[in-house]
Structure 1
């Protein structure tokens, strides 16, 4: 089945973003995939025999200036950072809340068919945990945004996969993941570690296909 869908991906160089782009490149429903990135991509990062990929280097601090790129069928937002990398709560919030919120507004303005982003299991605007609170506040803001069609969040727990940067606590959890996964059944199932490829696949299934 060959389609005529177009996609825009933000956060294409992260763990889920890379897995997502690789799946979109082999999905016959998509004819073109635009990536908004901070810096030029290494040629070896993605295999693109069909010539679908269109990477655009932008300044995320002026994301609203790139509204035209949101004129696509589907917008995938894989943006996210950590407190360690961000360096402060304000810097973390800028990436994980503000940039995603602006992306949703641009998606609405350009009348894209759907918007899917990455949240987190346990996201709650009332959480005492800052990370989960920001994720919850974002969910509330986007789900209540008028005229944002087919908005959906993926809520992964611990992500399995090779990251560019070291995260010692996550490295330990990755080693324990096979055992933890078997223990997490019933209500705990949502906390099972998942692979980036699984999260990416879930994002694609949440998009609006007609």
Structure 2
């Protein structure tokens, strides 16, 4: 039997994160009987103190309320999935946005790396560029750059366009501008290039988990067709 890998997930209450968590917790236990296949992992979820935790109970799930600005040492870990993210409107300022989408992401990755993680999967955004004049894209590009300096054997970066999903079920406030964008994207979807098409959060999650678990060492960027359901 292959030794079970341990995973850490940060951002497990968002559109992508909740699907990442579901994928990890529904791994087929029968696979562990195959010596060539990994056993289902223990999953540690980091969530911000004072914020809601995933409403799940599972024998392999361990929840940790943390301060992302002062993370404690993590238990030994193999894989880390980071789907933390907010909007400038929700955060209230550019500095508050950066504290989540850059600082908390990087802090999680550093803590996981220090705990032994060799594989990292992260969600950024289409247009991520550390030299962009657009603040949102610049922050996303800066966190990608800084993650690459941490020395993960395998780093998978998912760069979706707009994310589609039911936020009400996740107890997230509706985002009017996002709703309008989704309506427009759905109307234009047949004529848009693949990299610009809106993606369900679950599709992005499935692609990210599959890539982290199966791709060889190196940097891998997923966008466009790579974020579609596997056939």
- TM bucket, shorter chain: 0.7 to 0.9
Deviations 1:58-104 (A, max 9, x none): 122212xx2223x2121000111110111111111111111111222
TM value normalised by structure 2: 0.79
> Which 4+ residue blocks in structure 1 deviate beyond 6 angstroms?
none
Cα gap change, 1:161/1:40 in structure 2, threshold over 3 Å: closer, same or farther?
A: closer
1:154 equivalenced with 2:162 (yes/no): no
- State which of 53, 65, 72 in structure 2 corresponds to 1:41: 53
Identify unmatched segments of 5+ residues in structure 1: none
RMSD (Å) for aligned C-alpha atoms: 2.0
Aligned length: 199
**Mean alpha-carbon deviation: is it higher for 189-198 or for 105-114?**
105-114
- State which of 73, 83, 87 in structure 2 corresponds to 1:82: 87
- Partner-residue secondary structure (3-state), 2:194: helix
- Partner-residue secondary structure (3-state), 2:160: coil
Is this contact kept in 2: 1:113–1:208, CA < 8 A? no
User: C-alpha distance in 1, partners of 2:86/2:3?
Assistant: 33
- State which of 58, 67, 71 in structure 1 corresponds to 2:73: 67
TM value normalised by structure 1: 0.87
Deviation at 1:157, TM superposition (A): 0.5
- What is the aligned partner in structure 1 of residue 191 from structure 2? 183
Is this contact kept in 2: 1:35–1:55, CA < 8 A? yes
Identify unmatched segments of 5+ residues in structure 2: 29-38, 217-231
- What is the aligned partner in structure 2 of residue 119 from structure 1? 124
